[in-house]
Structure 1
Amino acid sequence: MLIIAGTIRIEKPATEEVLEACRNMMEATHQEDGCIDYVFSVDPIDPTVLHVFERWETQEALNDHFLTSHMTPFREAMANWGVNDMDILKFAVGSFERMR
């Protein structure tokens, strides 16, 4: 399993346009083979920060994700957000256990 986690910092607080692009991307990505989780969320303290959290079954599934037709309009939308910084990491998970 792979976990992708991090932040995207944008110039202005997230607008409905930003949220709609994130929702559209999330809905489309949830339908992809190998996607376990795919979430964007606005930081409740700093609305110029978007948190990214993804879980993928395999590297191949993640690679395929970057080639999907819904990636292009999302990247085009992001170009209008004034992205100041992206700090996104990929973690390869060898084992895990559920927490209560």
Structure 2
Amino acid sequence: MRIIVAGWLRYAGDDKTCAAIITGGAEHILAAREEQGCVAYTWAVDPIDPGVIQVYEEWESEEDLLRHFVDPAYAKMRAHLETYELTGFGVRLYGTCGVEPVYGEDGWPRREIFGVTLEDAA
């Protein structure tokens, strides 16, 4: 089952703090992207609230994510993040039973997603 990790981290400091955290953590992000089963791994400064980092990860399986948690690169990433004052967070795991494209071949949003149509949703 594909696993998504998504959420946010809030840090104390000025509006440049989160940008510095991401820039300083680039090697950790790149290392995670090279791990087995990593589909996506990114941190981004929230464009509305620059004190927040938005986190998004996608893993091929639960096993791949669990291996990530014991990889030395993960420990280094945690150590990097812990050098800054974390004031709040909300990061969650999401499991997916399938993956489908959002848009059809015509470039428009699909009218059916995982067997549910727009009419079913009405």
3-state SS in 1 of match to 2:25: helix
Q: Are residues 1:39 and 2:45 paired?
A: no
Query: Following TM superposition, by how much is the alpha carbon of 1:21 offset from its aligned partner in structure 2, in angstroms?
Result: 3.3
TM alignment of 1:43-82, pairs within 5 A: 43-82=46-85
Query: Following TM superposition, by how much is the alpha carbon of 1:20 offset from its aligned partner in structure 2, in angstroms?
Result: 2.5
3-state SS in 1 of match to 2:70: coil
* Alignment coverage as a number of residue pairs: 100
Q: Are residues 1:3 and 2:27 paired?
A: no
Rg larger for: 2
Q: Are residues 1:86 and 2:86 paired?
A: no
Residue type of the alignment partner of 2:7: G
Q: Is the 8 A contact 1:21 1:74 kept in 2?
A: no
Unaligned segments of structure 2, at least 5 residues: 104-122
Residue type of the alignment partner of 1:9: R
Residue type of the alignment partner of 1:98: P
Q: Is the 8 A contact 1:7 1:50 kept in 2?
A: yes
Residue type of the alignment partner of 1:78: L
Unaligned segments of structure 1, at least 5 residues: none
Identity percentage of aligned residues: 26
- Two-structure CA RMSD over aligned residues (Å): 1.4
CA distance in 2, matches of 1:81, 1:75: 11
After the TM superposition, which segments of 4 or more aligned residues of structure 1 sit over 3 Å from their partners? none
